[in-house]
Each structure stands twice: as C-alpha cells, then as structure tokens.
Structure 1
C-alpha cells in the first residue's frame, strides 16, 4: 500500500473517525420520511408521528453525546475519536438497551425526555476545571438549542397552516427536548448537571459524589417518584414551555398520537 492509499490522519486520528455513521444517516433519512408522511397524511398518520418523534429523539440523543465528545476532543481527549463517539453512531454510546431502548420507552409511556447514552471521557488528559464543566455542559446545551429550533419552527410554520398532526409531533419533540434539558441540568450525581459542578467540589465532597454517581439514574427516578419533587419538576418544565410559547394542547395531542397502539 502506497502513501496515497493510507487513511488520512487528523492529529493522529483517521478521518473515518469523524464521518457520520450510516446508522445516523439512516435515522435522519427516516426522520425526514416520517415527517413527509405525516405532513401529507400518507398511510397510518399515527404510526408516522410515532416514527417522527422516536427517530427525532434518538437523533437528538446522538447529537447530545456527540457534543460531549467533540468538546472533550477539542480539549485534548483523542480517545473519544478512537472509540467512535464522533461518528454519531447511537450504538457507540454505552449500552444499546439501557442507553437507547429504555429512554425511548420512557418517552412513549411518560412523555419525559430521559437522559440516555453516555460517552466515556478521559478526564485525566483534560486540564482545568472549567474545561471539565464545559464538556458536561455541551450535551444539555445541545438539547436546549434543539428545543429552541423546534419551537421557532413551530411558531413560524404553524401560522402558515398545515396538518395539526405534523405540528403536534413537532411540539411533542420540542417538549421532550425541554424535559431532557431540565433533567440533564439537575445537580444529580452522574447526570450532566452534577458533573458540571463535580470539578469544583472539595476533595471530600468529590469522593462522596463519585460514590453516588453510578446510581444517578436510580436517584433520579426516586426524586421524580416523589409527588412534591416530581410536581416541582413538571411545573418548571410547563413554565418554560409556556414562556417559549409551546401550546400545551398541541404537545398533549402529539403524545396521544404517538401512542398509536391505544
């Protein structure tokens, strides 16, 4: 094999490590297809809405984890590229069942954008507490941007008409991004919000944080199960949705449509 046949490198990493995976491209194509079917009312519209929302959620999960990995890469962790995190392949982000299937089920049953996948970042090669915080912040920031884009599309596009099923699907996907944004920013050990403050803790508190971090999901479920805390959480999400002008009846319609089996 000659020099011209060798795989080009970027800072010692093959360029293939930065190319979007065929799985991610297929998800985007499916998202667009379901959107077109919903808009034109072709076939089973409720099934198309289901495909649009679920696929859109998985795409957002990929972008969330990609943002973590990209910022970590920029700050010196080349391992995220070798582990495939920069290809946007959802199968690279931790366990497919716990990281993708479980959050999708929670989305469908509870209408909550549960944090899903995870990327392993080599914190030892990233210098500075602020950089560690920015790595953790990158994922939730992606959800916030995604939510704002969807709300903007909804407010600008719905005024021009179109099928209510399509806009209900967009509204539901936007609402899920809001719930994911709030959940990910909670200062719970193991979640992005907790990981943002972890570098700034005193050593003794950091050790305690690291002890509870693996059980962050269990702690999150326990908090949301508490009626008072769960009520505060949804009140906050509803307040943000109202502030952004996201109609409650519209994303509620989307949640009803997406449960096509009922």
Structure 2
C-alpha cells in the first residue's frame, strides 16, 4: 500500500486545525444564539474560521489523493495533518484569502501542496489529484446550502442563516475559480496531463501569474458583474437569494455601519 511508508504521526490531526475548528464551533453557537452583544463579530469569526477549515480540507484532499496515487512524501511534509501553516506560505495560504474575502466577498484559492508528480503514474490519477481540492469546496458548499435546498430553515436564526449564505457564496466562488483552466489553478492541473508536451512547455512560464491574471480580470466591472451573476444564479438554484448573501456579507463586516434592511429582512 502507498500508505505503508507514511508514519502514524504524519497523519495526526494538528492542534492548530483543532483550535480553528473549535473557534468555528464556538462562534457558530454564538451566532445561532446571538450570545454576543455585537453579532457581527461572532459572524466574522465563524465565517473566517469555517473558511480556513475549508482551505485546510481543500489542500488535505489534494495530499490524500496524491498519497493514494503514489506520492508517499506528502506525509513527511505535514500535508496530512490539516495544519494550515504546512500549506506553502502562510501569507499566500491564509492571509491573502482572508483579505480578499473581507474586501470583496470572494473565495480566493488558497495555499498549495507540492506534489512530486514524478511518483504518480497515469493521466487520470494526475487529473484526480488536481480535482480533489475544488471538489472539496463543492462538497462544503453543498453542506452550507443544504438547509436552503432541503427547505429546513424553520427555527434557524436569521443571523446564522445569513452567515451560512455568505459562507456558501465563498465556497461556490472558490470552486469555480479553482476549476478555471488557467495555468497555476487546479482546473489547468486537471487538463494538463492530456495536453501535448509542446503546449505544456509553452504554457509553463505563465503558471506563476495565472491567479493574478484572473483577479485582474475580476477587478474589471463588466467581468465582475458577469462572474457574480453566475455565482448568484447557482446560489438561487440552491435556494439562496442575493439578499441573504448580501446581508451575510454585511454582518461579516462588523466594523462598518450595518444596512438597516438586513435587520428586518426575513
């Protein structure tokens, strides 16, 4: 088995991850019960902690799939511990995604795991390793939206509903951005094994700038508008309307004056 050379300690869940999970649980409870005097602070901490948890699961999915595909080195690198500090640089993995989330409500693709691709045999396996991460975001989005498309919102407090709606928006944006066939993103990693050597060689120099190119496009009002129209169409199909995600983002930014309409929205 490919896991035979992976030590048990290499797969032990990190206390850092457990701490973040605890923050998400406690602040989720505080959001549900309106325990805090300023509910926006609880929403901010809940959504941020849950978002970091999803980033960890995204990268863990890459690493776990790579492990079972032949790369037995991922354990020694700490990728199987769910420790966010192990996923490349903390600035790129955690800080920047949180900053973009605060600035524009966009789920920025986060850190990365360095997979030794030479150890993996078969194009399908290479594609699956790349797809595993954004598929985790899809699954996370399904969980966040489940109360909406299952029509199980009776008894769910308004603030918690808004927080889930905003968290779902982040997961959907992360999944779509990650699946774009742009060099440097997971979507390109899915199709790369099927490209010719010449094409891959020509594209390779642009890989470090792929994400920057995508976000430069998103700053264009016309592109941004179309992008979020797609996002909201998906969310609407899952039972979440734009007012709910807007109010979730409004609550999340607790340091700003809140929109009065969110306080009376159903």
- More moved, 219-228 vs 181-190: 219-228
Please give the residue correspondences for 1:1-262 in structure 2 after superposition, counting only pairs within 5 Å: 10-43=3-36, 44-156=38-150, 159-262=153-256
- More moved, 133-142 vs 220-229: 220-229
Deviation at 1:161, TM superposition (A): 2.1
State whether residues 224 and 230 of structure 1, in contact with CA within 8 Å, keep that contact through their aligned partners in structure 2. Answer: yes
Per-residue CA deviations over 1:125-156 (Å, capped at 9, x if unaligned) read 00111111000000010000100111003444
Cα distance in structure 1, aligned partners of 2:32 and 2:221: 38
Instruction: Go from structure 1 to structure 2 and tell me whether the alpha carbon gap of 1:162 and 1:243 turns closer, same or farther (over 3 Å shift).
Output: closer
State whether residues 20 and 89 of structure 1, in contact with CA within 8 Å, keep that contact through their aligned partners in structure 2. Answer: yes
Cα distance in structure 1, aligned partners of 2:231 and 2:69: 32
Per-residue CA deviations over 1:104-137 (Å, capped at 9, x if unaligned) read 0110110000001100000000011111100000
Structure 1: tracts of 5 or more residues without a match: 1-9
Deviation at 1:158, TM superposition (A): 5.2
State whether residues 169 and 254 of structure 1, in contact with CA within 8 Å, keep that contact through their aligned partners in structure 2. Answer: yes
Deviation at 1:179, TM superposition (A): 0.5
State whether residues 148 and 239 of structure 2, in contact with CA within 8 Å, keep that contact through their aligned partners in structure 1. Answer: no
Structure 2: tracts of 5 or more residues without a match: 257-266
Q: TM-score, normalised by structure 1?
A: 0.93
Deviation at 1:51, TM superposition (A): 0.4
SS in 2 for 1:80: coil
Q: TM-score, normalised by structure 2?
A: 0.92
Deviation at 1:225, TM superposition (A): 2.4
SS in 2 for 1:121: coil
Q: Paired residues, what number? A: 254
Cα distance in structure 1, aligned partners of 2:223 and 2:187: 17
State whether residues 198 and 209 of structure 1, in contact with CA within 8 Å, keep that contact through their aligned partners in structure 2. Answer: no
State whether residues 154 and 170 of structure 1, in contact with CA within 8 Å, keep that contact through their aligned partners in structure 2. Answer: no
